Amino acid sequence: DIVMTQAPLSVSVTPGESASISCRSSKSLLHSNGITYVYWYLQKPGKSPQLLIYRMSNLASGVPDRFSGSGSETDFTLKISRVEAEDVGIYYCGQLLENPRTFGGGTKLELK
């Protein structure tokens, strides 16, 4: 199984500042078709996860452009610029390259 490792476990950010979350996969997520199958989700308190970034760097519909994704074949970063109160929650990276689909352990974002 592909192991997804996230860091840090939690991050505390002043509103208006930026935050970065890292994710590493135990295997390359770059498919021969050129697509990197890493995704980012946000789970707000008491809610279902919501898609933020798909295929490493594509912004999902309705997601503010303060969010961006980048990376290589095995190392990925989610950056949140100008953090707002509505960004609070747990962020998960996930790989949809192969079964079983797997997720990182999550990074909790809080406001200072």
- Structure tokens belonging to residue 21: 């979350």
Q: Which residue has the tokens 């609070």?
A: 88
- Give the β-pairing of 107-111 and 10-13: parallel
Among 19, 36, 49, 67, binds other proteins (CB under 8 A): 49
Cα 42 from Cα 56, distance rounded (Å): 15
Alpha helices of 4-110 — where are they, by DSSP H? none
The residue range among 13-21, 24-32, 74-82, 102-110 that interacts with other proteins, by the rule CB under 8 A, is 102-110
Nearer to other proteins, 20 or 102 (CB): 102
Q: What number of chain residues touch other proteins (CB under 8 A)?
A: 21
The contact mask relative to other proteins for 55-84 (x = CB under 8 A, - = no) is x----xx-----------------------
Please, which residue, 39 or 83, has the CB nearer to other proteins? 39
Q: How far apart are CA 109 and CA 91, in angstroms?
A: 7
Tokens at 59, concatenated: 């912004």
Residues lying near other proteins in the complex (CB under 8 A)? 39, 41, 48-51, 54-55, 60-61, 92, 94, 96, 99-106
